[in-house]
Structure 1
């Protein structure tokens, strides 16, 4: 079974041609579905059709139709098409094989495969459908149909043949194209119905060429509906090909809306196809137009070209604002185009003029025409003048505001405060200690403080020891201290040992005689006393002594000590009797002997123990001598920090002679072996 449209004898025509896209394109074998490969009927036509002529009757099996379908272009114009066949192009005897029932907004498939088992010479695709998508364009007016068919393929065999390979019917007058079942009776005579076209029928009486106009059925025994246009209907089922004006439906049994223009409506849907009577709109023209200036409105959405006075909107169904001057407004959006009544303003004149306008008169944008009442300003008199604030503009801006100008609601000084004042309303005074002005918000002094004061508000006094004032932020003496003071805040006093003042940073200075140290705050090695103004004893070894009491640090110089004692004894002998001299001499010799003995004992002991590394000073004796000679008013039990020699002597397993000089108790400790002591003999 082949595509009969591919035969060279096959031709095609169409109802009209647009852009040169003729019917030849539907049988050229090209199934591409873009615009340039498709036929195209002309616009502004109420009927569109494309017809194929096979040049002779053939047994048709099925038809494949390719309709235009590009990415953005859907086959919406293909809705409700009909596929019809006939053996005569010049008559109205078209048999409907198929009717599409797709409704807006759905679209049919762009490729249709339709079963149509008929013996026919002519095949056509026909449409009277008016696509709503085209109604908004000036090129596509209401009530017109279009077809854009790219290819038609008709599959079947020549008459007398059947099956996929078009096999001969083998002597049958006719046979089914698929099953080869005979459709006549041998040697039987059948009288055809007078309603059969050309009185031709088969052995069963079925009309083989179709029915005469006005009849339908296998034997053309049924009358078509009287509402069918020209009383033509589909042979198999009696469905009208088209309806008379005022009717719709398959059998044209339904009456179109009385509001349809000229009572015409779509056969299948009943939609008014030629428009609506004045004052109505909608598919069935059953909706009433709004307050249009004319009696007509858009057929589909009811929009008006122009509105009656005092109405606006697409359908003129909204009232203009009652405050519009003369109740007139713009149709598209309701804008009061002639202005507003007195006392109102705005797009819809629905806002009242400010009560602060003189005579309550303002323009449509709200500007007060005659100016503002006292203390009010602005185009709409909706804010206070520069020197007043508050909800009623009854409060006066502070006189401390620069230019006496403030915010119209809060009273905040717009340009700041005059010198000496701060806060939002400039009501607070700056500190009296501020040299210049103060911060607008916090009141802290700007710039430097007066000499002698510091702090954010310059209300704190610098330390009186500061020289030339102090640091504003922390009160430290950045410019130095007065004489005799040092430290970052000048609270520390220079040492009395300084010759003339000291450095502020660390208290260092040049020392007076008898003083030493970084800050001259300790006695030198050769001086002692509260003011370090007393020299150590010349008998002290190396001339050094402790600073608090003058006792020798390193012990006594023995030679100087003995010479001094002898000198003292000679002085005593001049003023004493011989007995006294002998007694004194005896005592001196005894002490000398004991001193030598003690020194020897200690040297041996230290050597054995290896505890002392320096020469052991005979401190006790040196101090005893000082007491008797008047060099220092001290005793042997004085303990000076750093005098390690007393401590070292105390580490021996037995007490030394020096430990016992202070009193008799010490000698008793030495005489535990019942030996007489020198102390007993002297006393």
Structure 2
């Protein structure tokens, strides 16, 4: 256990003075001037330190210049560069690093493709000549703050002539660039690239690769969190990226909560001056904290905040007057509806519709008349006219004549005319019309029947009297004739004959009485 602790302590002590391999960062890009077959630049940055050819990058043959470039993405403070060159084995017949002779190591902030050697900083130049060989592993000190690390050669190895190969060639198996972020104080970082002594001003983070917000005063921020110590005027928040309200007086607000520390510009209120003083405030000014109008209200406005209309006005600007027909001239601030109802003979939400046809007023909402309609009118609004044949008024709901009809009219609405034969016997009620008409017809039939019977009776009696008179006349004529023929009868006989005739005549009258009997006229009189 003690051995493990000691080993870990030694590792930590050693790594305090180590540097980060910047080549292995995810933002680093390795590239070649040309590529031979499948031996790409990525083989020089895969972490494999084997120097056999299959693990190495390889530029193409027959090139005047060959280079490998490490692009760190941005300037870093590098301390050294370590290169692993191709070497297959230590045997005499195996591949040697003869192509590595006379290479040079440059650093720059301009890429290899766009710069010449005169524009770069030279860190190392190999001066090995044939048949000598340079070391295949080499660690080169190079303390500079740069973005690009360039290994380059123009050397044409004579050993390639026998194979018909010419030109400069590079076969780098792995390249390691050690250094710190340039923003580390004294360029001091551990093996993980963490800045040991902290960051220079304007940067934060463990690698000091994050920039403090530009709104921090003097670009000063916390090394761990990046929070600004103080903000420039007009900004607030931990990183000073939030704008103070434009209505803060002088544009100044508290760094922590954004509250306007010097108050608000005229017409505004609230802790961050985000509320507008009521337009009803005189001069548009109000208390910054609670918004109460300091100088009272404008005309037609009322309340502590002057944000409501007085009782006789309404609308968004309180410029509209409540209708005169509202009770007490009072209405709702927003809609103008009468709050306490309407004066008599007006209705509607704003009491602006008259109901003059209603003698005792109308319903505030519907406008329907309350109580009876004027004589001669009916309906919910008393706007319909009763029949002209009604006596007095008609029913308010139906319009039927309640006081009866004028002479000669009948029906619920007195719109029907009585029969000419029965003007005096019809009534206004429809249900009584048929019985009265039937009674009138029955009496007329009786009268006609009586007249017919009287006529027949007169005719029969006249005929009977005529027959009797004619019969007596004929008998008297016969007696006269017999008297003139026989003068030989005695006076007694004549006297008896006369008595007989007299009796016979009386018998005739009796016979007439029996035949005729009592007349219909006599019956009617009784």
TM-score of the superposed pair, with normalisation by structure 2 = 0.48
Q: Which has the higher contact order (CA 8 A, sep 6+)?
A: 2
Whichever structure has more helix as a proportion of its residues is 2
